[in-house]
Amino acid sequence: MANKIESILEPWHDLTGKVVFVTGASSGIGKEFCLDLARAGCKIIASARRIHLLEPLCDEINRMKISGESEPETIPVRAFAVQLDVSADEATIMAAVQKAWDAFGHIDTLINNAGISGQPQNTMEFEEAQWNYIYRTNVTGSWLVAKHVCRHMHDAKRGGSVINISSIAGVNRVLMRGGIAYASSKAAVNTMTRVMALELADNNIRVNCINPGIFKTEITQGLLEKNWFDDLVMKTVPMQTLGTINPGLTSLARYLIHDSSLYVTGSCFIVDAGTSLVALPIFSSL
């Protein structure tokens, strides 16, 4: 009964057959996306630089027992690893996207999640090389991956969904000290999302972005370990908790993959337990 109600009210619990390409899949948010979406029935192309972390992730997904599926005679291929440095040149990115596309013959959704924050430093100290590397990864890399995935989607006339993972650091009302390149690169991702949505709408390709607040991953580890951090969350985060990647971010990703979000494009969703509603500076280590 519960499953029947769930499938009517929340149909995005079942994403059987959707092919999802996730960048930055070797850790944190990207890895959780891969595991959760595989449980929902998606086929996963997991991508990052650290291939030694992607292979065990794909093995874990390929061994998963998906509810409703009968016991297979051979291990089904549900996940495939593609090594890619998104800060690489366009030809390298194009070749990796081709490999990703060929893994299952098409891609329904790209989750453009790979990203870095860099070392916190104020404007007068910030190094140009660091600025360029952050932009190359967070903005140029996301754009080039989307460019080549969307070209395939267009040629295949299948439509598709692109989900860019930005940050509340890129939202106008949030300002962060020490993160000039990170914050402005994420603001650029939000703008890029809307321009891509406008340009690709008539190809039936939807483009949205998610602006996470603070979630526990490699990027935020140092911050979350500070002994004052929990106290600060209780006092400043309206919901008094930061939540967890699953279901905090995974539930929204599932919705944006599913056809229920057919008319949702150009939207930037904030998932931060209300953090960005409060007019306090957030932390430079994000």
**Which residue in the set 7, 50, 230, 238 belongs to the binding site for ligand NAP (CB under 6 A)?**
50
Q: How far apart are CA 26 and CA 40, in angstroms?
A: 19
Give me the 149-188 binding string for ligand NAP, x by CB under 6 A, dash otherwise.
----------------x-x---------------------
* 152 contacts: CB under 8 Å, gap ≥ 6: 97, 98, 101, 106, 107
86 lies in the binding site for ligand NAP (CB under 6 A): yes
**Which residue in the set 21, 22, 26, 188 belongs to the binding site for ligand NAP (CB under 6 A)?**
26
**Which residue in the set 15, 33, 110, 113 belongs to the binding site for ligand NAP (CB under 6 A)?**
113
Shortest distance, position 135 Cβ to ligand NAP, whole Å: 12
Q: How many helices (H) and strands (E) does the chain have?
A: 11, 7
Residue 5 CA to chain centroid, in angstroms? 28
Amino acid at 218: E
Euclidean distance between the first and final Cα of the chain, in Å?
A: 43
93 lies in the binding site for ligand NAP (CB under 6 A): no
Shortest distance, position 285 Cβ to ligand NAP, whole Å: 10
| Count of CB atoms situated within 10 Å of the CB of 172 | 8
Stretch of 73-81, 82-90, 95-103, 122-130 lying at the interface with ligand NAP (CB under 6 A): 82-90
Instruction: Report, in angstroms and rounded to the nearest whole number, the Rg of the chain calculated over CA atoms.
Output: 19
193 lies in the binding site for ligand NAP (CB under 6 A): no
Between 59 and 69, whose beta carbon lies closer to ligand NAP?
59
90 lies in the binding site for ligand NAP (CB under 6 A): no
Q: How far apart are CA 111 and CA 31, in angstroms?
A: 11
Stretch of 12-20, 26-34, 152-160, 257-265 lying at the interface with ligand NAP (CB under 6 A): 26-34
Q: How far apart are CA 157 and CA 151, in angstroms?
A: 10
218 lies in the binding site for ligand NAP (CB under 6 A): yes
Task: List, in sequence order, every beta strand (DSSP E) within 149-248.
Answer: 160-165, 205-212
Judged by DSSP in three states, 125 sits in coil
Shortest distance, position 165 Cβ to ligand NAP, whole Å: 5
Shortest distance, position 69 Cβ to ligand NAP, whole Å: 28
214 lies in the binding site for ligand NAP (CB under 6 A): yes
Q: Of residues 224-283, which lie at the interface with ligand NAP (CB under 6 A)?
A: none
Q: How far apart are CA 24 and CA 30, in angstroms?
A: 5
* 91 contacts: CB under 8 Å, gap ≥ 6: none
Shortest distance, position 179 Cβ to ligand NAP, whole Å: 10
Residues lying near ligand NAP in the complex (CB under 6 A)? 23-30, 48-50, 84-87, 113-116, 137, 165, 167, 212, 214-215, 217-220
